[in-house]
Amino acid sequence: MTENGFGAAVRRKEDYRFITGRGQFVDDINRPHQLYAQIIRSPIAHGKINKVDVDAAIAMSGVVAVFTGADMAADGVGGIPCGWGITSKDGSPMVEPGHPPLAAECVRYVGDQVAVVLAETLAIARDAAELVDVDYAELPSVANLESASADGAPLVWDDAKGNVCFDWEIGDKSATDAAFASADQVVTIDIVNNRLIANAMEPRAAIGDYDAGKDEYTLYTTSQNPHVIRMLMGAFVLSIPEHKLRVIAPDVGGGFGSKICHYAEEAIVTWASRKVNRPVKWTADRSESFISDAHGRDHVSHAELAMSKDGDFLGLRVSTRANLGAYLSTFGPAVPTILYATLLAGSYKTPAIHAEVKAMFTHTVPVDSYRGAGRPEASYLLERLVDKAAKQTGIDPIELRRRNFIQPEDFPYQTPVALEYDTGDYDAAMVKAIELADYANFDKRREESAARGKLRGVGISTYIEACGIAPSNVAGALGARAGLYEVGTVRVNPTGSVTVLTGSHSHGQGHETTFAQLVVEELGVDFDNIDIVHGDTGKVPFGMGTYGSRSAAVGGVALMNALEKIRTKAKKIAAHLLEASEDDIEFKDGQLSVAGTDRSVAFGDVAMAAYVPHNYPLETLEPGLEETAFYDPKNFTFPAGCHICEVEVDPDTGVVEVVRFTAGDDFGRIINPMIVDGQVHGGVTQGIGQALYEQCVYDDSGQLLTGSMMDYCLPKADNVPNFAVTTNVTPCTHNVLGVKGCGEAGAIGSPPAVINAVLNALSDYNVDDLQMPATPERVWQAMQGNG
Partner 1 sequence: MSINVSFTLNGEAVSAHVASRTLLVEMIREHLGRTGTHVGCDTSQCGACVIHVNGRSVKSCTMLAAQADGAEIVTIEGVAKNGQLHPMQEAFREHHGLQCGFCTPGMIMSALDLVKQNPDPSEKEIREWLEGNLCRCTGYHNIVRAIKAGADSMRVG
- Interface residues toward partner 1, by CB under 8 A: 11-12, 14-25, 27-28, 30, 123, 198-203, 251-254, 256, 285-287, 507-510, 674-675, 677-678, 681-686, 708-710, 714-718, 720, 722-723, 746
Give phi and psi for 688, each to the nearest 5.
Answer: -65, -40
End-to-end CA distance of the chain: 54
Shortest reach from residue 259's CB to partner 1, in Å: 11
Distance CA 68, CA 126 (A): 16
Nearer to partner 1, 311 or 707 (CB): 707
Give phi and psi for 719, each to the nearest 5.
Answer: -95, -10
Distance CA 70, CA 75 (A): 9
Which residues does residue 281 pair with via DSSP β-bridges, in sequence order? 36, 207
Distance CA 611, CA 614 (A): 9
Nearer to partner 1, 25 or 109 (CB): 25
Task: Transcribe 722-736 into DSSP letters.
Answer: -EEEEE-----SSST
| Residues 6 or more apart whose Cβ sits within 8 Å of residue 694 | 194, 196, 197, 712, 713, 714, 715, 773
- Cβ(746)–Cβ(685) under 8 Å? yes
Determine the residue type at 523: L
Nearer to partner 1, 200 or 303 (CB): 200
Query: What 3-state DSSP class applies to 489?
Result: strand
Distance CA 208, CA 375 (A): 35
Shortest reach from residue 281's CB to partner 1, in Å: 11
Shortest reach from residue 76's CB to partner 1, in Å: 35
Query: What 3-state DSSP class applies to 85?
Result: coil
Shortest reach from residue 692's CB to partner 1, in Å: 14
Closest CA to 362 of 87, 149, 96, 586: 149
Distance CA 150, CA 413 (A): 41
Nearer to partner 1, 28 or 435 (CB): 28
Shortest reach from residue 85's CB to partner 1, in Å: 31
Distance CA 682, CA 744 (A): 9
Shortest reach from residue 505's CB to partner 1, in Å: 11
Nearer to partner 1, 415 or 509 (CB): 509
Shortest reach from residue 256's CB to partner 1, in Å: 7
> Distance from CA of residue 170 to its chain's centroid?
23
Closest CA to 356 of 576, 568, 571, 168: 168
Distance CA 147, CA 141 (A): 9
Nearer to partner 1, 426 or 527 (CB): 527
Distance CA 562, CA 564 (A): 5
- Cβ(263)–Cβ(579) under 8 Å? no
Shortest reach from residue 707's CB to partner 1, in Å: 10
Nearer to partner 1, 60 or 139 (CB): 60
Nearer to partner 1, 486 or 694 (CB): 694
Shortest reach from residue 719's CB to partner 1, in Å: 9
Nearer to partner 1, 709 or 736 (CB): 709
Shortest reach from residue 435's CB to partner 1, in Å: 20
Distance CA 775, CA 786 (A): 14
Distance CA 395, CA 148 (A): 40
Distance CA 93, CA 701 (A): 30
Nearer to partner 1, 34 or 635 (CB): 34
Shortest reach from residue 662's CB to partner 1, in Å: 13
- Cβ(386)–Cβ(306) under 8 Å? no
- Cβ(80)–Cβ(327) under 8 Å? yes
3-state secondary structure 573-584: HHHHHCCCCHHH
Distance CA 740, CA 733 (A): 10
Shortest reach from residue 506's CB to partner 1, in Å: 9
Sort strands 498-502 and 530-533 into parallel, antiparallel or unpaired.
parallel
User: What length is written for the chain?
Assistant: 787
Shortest reach from residue 249's CB to partner 1, in Å: 12
Give the other-Cβ count within 10 Å of 771's Cβ: 16
Query: How far, in Å, are 94, 114, 119, 131, 631 from residue 59 at the CA level?
Result: 44, 19, 11, 10, 54
Nearer to partner 1, 626 or 677 (CB): 677
Nearer to partner 1, 463 or 712 (CB): 712
Shortest reach from residue 136's CB to partner 1, in Å: 25
Shortest reach from residue 322's CB to partner 1, in Å: 24
Nearer to partner 1, 409 or 718 (CB): 718
Nearer to partner 1, 372 or 510 (CB): 510
Nearer to partner 1, 117 or 676 (CB): 676
